[in-house]
Chains A and B, each alone.
Chain A
Amino acid sequence: MSKCDLIRDRLSEYAVGGLRGRMRARVEAHVGECAGCRAELKALERTGALLDSLETQDAPEGTWEAVRERVLARPRERARVRPRWAWAMSTVALVVVVAVAAVVMVPRPVERPVVVAAAAADEEMQMTMDDHLSTVWAAPLSDMAAVGLRMAALEENG
Chain B
Amino acid sequence: MRERLGVAAVVVALCAGAAAAQASVWEAVWRSEDALERVSVVGRARTMSVAGQRTAVARVRAAKGKVRLDYEAGRHRWSLVDNGRELIVLYPMRQEALVHPRPRLAVDRKLAERNYEARKVSGGEVAGRAVDAIEIVPRGGGPAAVRVWLDRETGFALKRERYNVEGNLTTGTEYVEVEYGAAVPGEVFLVPQTWRRMPSDGRGPRVSTAELSRVIGFEVKEPKHAPPGYVLLGGHAREWGRGGMRVAELRYTDGLRVLSVFEREKGEWMGKGGGRGGRHEGRHRSGGTGGGRGRGTGGRHGRGGGFGFGPAGGEKMTLVERGTEKALRYLGREMVVVVVGDVTAEELMRVAKSVE
Contact = CB atoms under 8 A, between A and B. Distances in A.
B is bound to A: yes
Given A134-B100, A149-B52, A150-B49, A139 B253 contact: yes
Interface string B301-333: 000001111111101111111111101110000
Interface in A87-123: 111-118, 120-123
Contact of A155 (B89, B105, B328): B89
A113 B349 contact: yes
A25 interface: no
Given A132-B327, A139-B257, A122 B273 contact: no
A152 B349 CA distance: 29
Contacts of B91: 155
Nearest to B270: A123
Which of B33, B56, B73, B91 gathers most chain A CB within 10 Å?
B56
Interface residues of A, number: 45
Contact of A141 (B29, B103, B308): B29
Contact of B255 (A116, A124, A140): A140
Contacts, number: 195
B48 A146 contact: yes
A147 B171 contact: yes
Interface string A49-75: 000000000000000000000000000
A121 B71 contact: no
B318 A113 contact: yes
B319 A115 contact: yes
A61 to B, nearest CB: 27
Contacts of B73: 149
B251 interface: yes
B318 A153 contact: no
B171 A148 contact: no
Contacts of B82: 137, 144
Contacts of A10: 272-273
Interface in B102-117: 102-105, 107, 109, 112
A136 B54 contact: no
A132 B260 contact: yes
B52 A150 contact: yes
24 contacts: A10-B272, A111-B349, A113-B349, A114-B317, A114-B318, A116-B319, A120-B308, A129-B320, A134-B87, A141-B112, A141-B136, A141-B160, A143-B162, A143-B172, A145-B58, A145-B60, A147-B171, A148-B80, A149-B52, A149-B73, A151-B80, A153-B49, A153-B52, A155-B89
Interface of B: 29, 33, 45, 47-49, 51-52, 54-56, 58, 60, 67, 69, 71, 73, 76, 78, 80, 82, 87, 89, 91, 98, 100, 102-105, 107, 109, 112, 136, 146, 148, 160-162, 171-173, 238, 240, 242-243, 249, 251, 253, 255-258, 260, 262, 269-270, 272-273, 306-313, 315-325, 327-329, 336, 338, 340-341, 345, 349
Q: Which 6 A-B pairs have the closest CB atoms?
A: A146-B171, A113-B317, A113-B319, A148-B80, A124-B311, A120-B308
